[in-house]
Structure 1
């Protein structure tokens, strides 16, 4: 699953991305849980942009569904 859609407020514009990460078997379930715990606090390096929100919207032992909101940085254009 993958989707993207434009996002805007009065002062900012960007894109909201939604995607799934799937593992083939439950042997990798701990790696998926570790990724899910780390994602909300991860510092992304995207010149000219910043990640305003990164959330897990669905989770099982084999799949994560993620939404990330990326905003164009008005101070440091890309």
Structure 2
């Protein structure tokens, strides 16, 4: 007998957040309210012994206070301890930094992170 696809399970389904979403949330928390995530790209990564994903995020910090927050973010990121279930952040690096003063002060930061799946 086939199960009716319209039947709902007897328990509520938990919506699991993907590691990429958890990473964005962690980066947003580290950047603080002054940081805005402009975009996020994810690609598969594997070696002989490990598999995971590589993530590239571009952030913008606007205004003089934002620039200060961005500089703190740049300093903190490489040593930050991320807590993403079943994932290990093996590498977190600043790829590029661009300061602009005109027409408005801002700091654009590109970061790259390597997440490895923990078994």
Does the pair score TM above 0.5? yes
Q: Give the TM-score taking structure 1 as reference length.
A: 0.86
Aligned-partner SS, 2:95: strand
Q: CA deviation at 1:51?
A: 0.1
Structure 1 residue runs of 4+, over 3 Å off? none
1:28 equivalent to 2:73? Answer no
- The structure whose residues are more often strand, as a share, is 1
Between stretches 54-63 and 17-26, larger displacement belongs to 17-26
Structure 1 or 2, whichever has the larger Rg, is 2
Gaps of 5+ in 1: none
1:63 equivalent to 2:101? Answer no
Gaps of 5+ in 2: 1-38, 100-106
Find the counterpart in structure 1 of residue 76 from structure 2. Answer: 38
Deviations 1:21-75 (Å, cap 9, x if unpaired)?
102334411110111100000000011110000000001231110001000013x
Higher normalized contact order (CA 8 Å, seq sep 6+, divided by chain length): 1
Q: Give the TM-score taking structure 2 as reference length.
A: 0.58
- Corresponding pairs, count: 74
Note the aligned Cα RMSD (angstroms). Answer: 1.2
Find the counterpart in structure 2 of residue 9 from structure 1. Answer: 47
